[in-house]
Amino acid sequence: MNSSRKLKHWIIDYRYMVQGALQSLFYKNPPKHYLEHIIHNKVPVVLVPGILEKWSSMKNMVDNISLAGHPVYVVQNLKYNIYSIPKSVDYIQEILDKNKIKKFVFITHSKGGLIGKYFLVHCNKNNSALGMVAIASPFSGSAMTNLVVHDSFKELSIDSEIINDLQRHSEINNKIVSIIPNYDNHILAEKGSHLDGAKNIYVDVHGHHRVIFDSSVIKKSIKELERLSDQI
């Protein structure tokens, strides 16, 4: 892809990033139907957005998941998701304990996929997490984080301790669905979001943020959520 097309995709993608940020201003609390519109036997979903994102950046996708009858749990304490990955997992565990959730599936974006995988590797002894649908997640890290000074981005660098730890644990990758945009302007790594041993789904969407708004990606995510749910 030439430079001018890449620039075009960057500009379009950042429009979606701004849209997600605006949604965070307008939607402070999850809609009541996330925990009220429930169809019998539909597995709960735990939502984990990306870094510098609140839950509402994924509202378009999660509204559809809720309408399909899955109870959706939002981890409000994550706020803009700049805590360390182990600390973020602690907040998820609080939600699970408080609501007595025995089985669930992660739906995640970007850094959220690393948080979900960390839970699957280190905290899933009772197999409460059936699996994860991870959208545009930097499983091999991202070289772009070297351009950002904030400490919260260091975990996402290609040679970070967390990335190396998660890569060593490939035994749980078969519980993960990785949805991968055709061009991801934020994941600058050789493998991108590809995860060996996982179900990797490549989609014809350009942009790290745009991908969570795409209707075909939303449909694929729900389909994979249902497939992972069938394990009960």
pLDDT at 215: 97
Residue 92 CA: distances (Å) to CA of 96, 142, 198:
6, 24, 23
Strand partners, 72: 45
Which helix (H) or strand (E) segment holds residue 220: the answer is helix 215-229
Handedness of CA 36, 45, 60, 52 (dihedral sign): positive
Radius of gyration of the chain (CA): 16
Using a pLDDT cut of 90, give the percent of the chain over it: 86
Q: Report the candidate in 114, 119, 113 with the shortest Cα–Cα distance to residue 96.
A: 119
pLDDT at 149: 66
What CATH number is attached to the domain comprising 100? 3.40.50.1820
Strand ranges inside 127-195, DSSP E: 129-135, 176-183
Domain that holds residue 62: 3-229
Amino acid at 143: A
Place of tokens 């948080």: 115
Total structural domains in the chain? 1
User: In angstroms, rounded to a whole number, what is the distance separating the alpha carbons of residues 53 and 39?
Assistant: 28
pLDDT at 231: 74
User: In angstroms, rounded to a whole number, what is the distance separating the alpha carbons of residues 119 and 194?
Assistant: 19
Q: Report the candidate in 139, 130, 138 with the shortest Cα–Cα distance to residue 45.
A: 130
Amino acid at 107: I
Mean pLDDT by 10 residues, the chain (232 residues): 86 96 94 95 96 96 97 96 96 97 97 98 95 97 76 87 96 97 87 94 97 97 95 70
- The answer to whether the beta carbons of residues 21 and 49 sit under 8 Å apart is no
Give the CA dihedral 5, 11, 12, 16, nearest 10 degrees: 150
pLDDT at 64: 97
